[in-house]
Amino acid sequence: MKQSSTLIFQDKMAFDVELNEHHFTIDANEGVSGADRGPRPKGLVLSALGGCTGMDVVSILRKMKVTEYGLTIDVSGELTEEHPKIYHTITVKFSFTGDKLSHNNIRKAVELSETRYCGVSEMLRKSSQIITLIYVNGEKI
């Protein structure tokens, strides 16, 4: 399945981005001639990873009949010092809240996303170390 995105230069460092009929702006910060009107492209990579694995985990848990929970995913990355600056380490922190959550089901859902379903994770793993942390009601599992 082919996907595509169109980016149209606006001004300074800003681009209008069209992706699957959705529009958003990417921009640089003011220190490099931008106007800070949107996220940076590298940051969107972290958001893409969080969204990809998050959707997988929610879908897998739904198949396990686990539906009553809250989930926050925090994704952070450490960039290399040299150009081209890439994320050498990415940390994905899953924070679940709810009653009677099975640690085994949660671990299995996250593991399946990481190793089988999340294409963004697979692409990034070729250049970055990905560290996964899982918390349930504030307790690391």
Domain boundaries, the chain: 1-39, 41-140
Per the document, the length of the chain is 141
- What are the residues whose beta carbons fall under 8 Å from the beta carbon of 104, sequence distance 6 or more? none
Q: How many CB atoms lie within 10 A of CB 53?
A: 24
8 Å CB contact between 119 and 49: no
* Cα–Cα distance, 43 to 27 (Å, whole number): 11
Q: Nearest-CA neighbor of 122 among 68, 53, 27?
A: 53
Model confidence pLDDT, tens digit, residues 86-126: 999 999 999 999 999 999 999 999 999 999 999 999 999 99
Which pLDDT value is given to residue 1?
A: 86
Q: Nearest-CA neighbor of 12 among 28, 68, 94?
A: 28
Strand, coil or helix: 36: coil
* Cα–Cα distance, 51 to 118 (Å, whole number): 9
Which pLDDT value is given to residue 82?
A: 96
DSSP 8-state secondary structure symbol assigned to residue 33: T
When pLDDT is cut at 50, 70 and 90, the band that residue 79 belongs to is very high
Considering the domain 41-140 in this protein, what is its CATH number?
3.30.300.20
When pLDDT is cut at 50, 70 and 90, the band that residue 5 belongs to is very high
Model confidence pLDDT, tens digit, residues 22-74: 999 999 999 999 999 999 999 999 999 999 999 999 999 999 999 999 999 99
* Cα–Cα distance, 102 to 136 (Å, whole number): 9
